[in-house]
């Protein structure tokens, strides 16, 4: 595999989050390489490969994986794009709207698998509007209709670059009681939560210019019983590392009241910040090595049909994996996923046995 070109350094911004990718590290025969904490089966028009094909892509390289769709549907407005059918939110100005049927799609795909293959997947509920006080009721309804299937909720977004302004009816906010009600319910049930929220508005370099971070940490503090994974550590396509980014992460990591908060390293848009220079790699590796229990790897690939895009982010991070201690690398790539999602499975199945009438053999 040819070596990728290094991206410009963002070391001056204080975040070690970038890299130049080489080939994946060698592995022992039959040993899987990672668990995937962030995987989208479907895209923004609810299309994707059969989950059986995804398991073939996983092969013996991926042990376990989350499984979720995208909660938003891109509108095809013929007056705007004509016969061109947009499949991504950047391909049209027409609004996005919440598509609740995505949870039924995920459940159907999962339940079509043999039990042994289901064990490798952790389906997540996404088809709710986090600005709606009924969001928690939607999650309860899905658990009741499909006992034995879901492990968590998400990935869902509150503030997300380019996406939030396009949502029909307006986007969510971190102070909306609907979000608190949703996270309270997730904590009571044991559902693992994957939350996307930008650390700042796009093109902002100071986290205090727009108080997303303060609002986000206040939200985290209000829900100590809920396991929350902060997707992409708050970064994105144009949401770059803010000055002192690591210090903001350390503020969460050092707070004993936020031991329930974790960070995923998913998305190539995050990896570009991690692997840009030797300095950003160093700072990132040192942060993870200090807190190896709090980070998880995820691909954040969307509806892949070939192995190359599926494994691209994992391979892009190769220089970072090389800088982690063996203990930290094992936890980030495998152990933390198993700890969080196994406990999520256990708690959700227990809740279903207590709350879903006649769940029967579906809840094991």
Q: Is residue 123 included in any domain, yes or no?
A: yes
Look at residues 96, 187, 199 and name the one whose alpha carbon lies nearest to residue 139.
Answer: 187
Q: Is residue 250 included in any domain, yes or no?
A: yes
Predicted confidence band of residue 187 (pLDDT cuts 50, 70, 90): very high
Question: In what side-by-side order are the strands of the sheet with 121-125?
Answer: 34-36, 62-67, 121-125, 152-157, 192-196, 228-230, 261-264, 295-296
pLDDT of residue 5: 35
Q: 304 is in which domain, residue-wise?
A: 31-355
Copy the structure tokens of residue 231: 């997707």
**Cα→Cα distances 123→118, 195, 356, Å:** 9, 15, 18
Q: Is residue 282 included in any domain, yes or no?
A: yes
Q: Is residue 12 included in any domain, yes or no?
A: no
What lies within 8 Å, CB to CB, of 334 at 6+ separation is 32, 34, 35, 63
Q: Is residue 10 included in any domain, yes or no?
A: no
Q: Structural domain tally of the chain?
A: 1
pLDDT single digits (tens) 131-175: 999 999 999 999 999 999 999 999 999 998 877 877 888 889 999
Q: Is residue 22 included in any domain, yes or no?
A: no
Q: Is residue 1 included in any domain, yes or no?
A: no
**Is the predicted pLDDT of residue 115 greater than 90, yes or no?**
yes
Residue recorded with tokens 């220089």? 319
**Over the chain, what is the mean pLDDT?**
88
**Is the predicted pLDDT of residue 35 greater than 80, yes or no?**
yes
Q: How do beta strands 152-157 and 34-36 pair? A: unpaired
Alpha carbon distance 67, 118 (integer Å)? 11
CATH code at 240? Answer: 3.20.20.140
Is the pTM above the cut of 0.85? yes
What percentage of residues in the chain have a pLDDT greater than 90?
A: 73
**Is the predicted pLDDT of residue 81 greater than 90, yes or no?**
yes
Q: Is residue 238 included in any domain, yes or no?
A: yes
């Amino acid at each position: 595999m040819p070596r990728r070109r290094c991206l410009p350094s963002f070391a001056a911004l204080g975040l070690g989050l970038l890299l130049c990718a080489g080939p994946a590290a060698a592995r022992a025969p039959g040993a899987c390489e990672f668990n995937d904490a962030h995987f989208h089966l479907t895209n923004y028009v609810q299309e994707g490969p059969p989950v059986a094909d995804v398991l073939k892509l996983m092969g013996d390289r991926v042990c376990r994986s989350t499984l979720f769709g995208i909660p938003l549907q891109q509108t095809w407005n013929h007056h705007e794009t004509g016969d061109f059918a947009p499949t991504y939110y950047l391909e049209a100005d027409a609004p996005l709207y919440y598509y609740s049927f995505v949870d039924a799609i995920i459940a159907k795909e999962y339940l079509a698998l043999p039990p042994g293959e289901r064990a490798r997947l952790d389906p997540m509920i996404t088809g709710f509007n986090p600005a709606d006080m009924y969001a928690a009721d939607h999650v309860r309804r899905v658990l009741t209709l499909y006992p034995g299937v879901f492990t968590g909720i998400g990935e869902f977004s509150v503030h997300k670059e380019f996406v939030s302004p396009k949502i029909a009816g307006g986007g969510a906010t971190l102070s909306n009681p609907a979000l608190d009600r949703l996270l309270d319910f997730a904590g009571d049930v044991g559902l693992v939560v994957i939350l996307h929220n930008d650390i700042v508005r796009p093109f902002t370099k100071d986290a205090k210019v727009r108080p997303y971070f303060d609002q986000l940490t206040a939200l985290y503090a209000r829900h100590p019983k809920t396991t929350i994974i902060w997707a992409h550590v708050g970064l994105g396509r144009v949401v770059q590392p803010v000055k002192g980014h690591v210090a903001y992460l350390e503020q969460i990591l050092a707070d004993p009241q936020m031991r329930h908060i974790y960070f995923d390293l998913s998305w190539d848009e995050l990896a570009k910040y991690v692997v840009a220079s030797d300095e950003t790699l160093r700072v990132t590796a040192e942060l993870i090595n200090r807190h190896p229990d709090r980070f998880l790897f995820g691909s954040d690939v969307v509806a892949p049909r070939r192995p190359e895009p599926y494994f691209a982010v994992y391979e892009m991070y190769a220089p970072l994996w090389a800088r982690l201690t063996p203990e930290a690398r094992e936890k980030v790539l495998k152990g933390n996923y198993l700890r969080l999602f196994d406990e999520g499975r256990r708690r959700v199945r227990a809740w279903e046995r207590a709350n879903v009438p006649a769940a029967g053999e579906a809840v094991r």
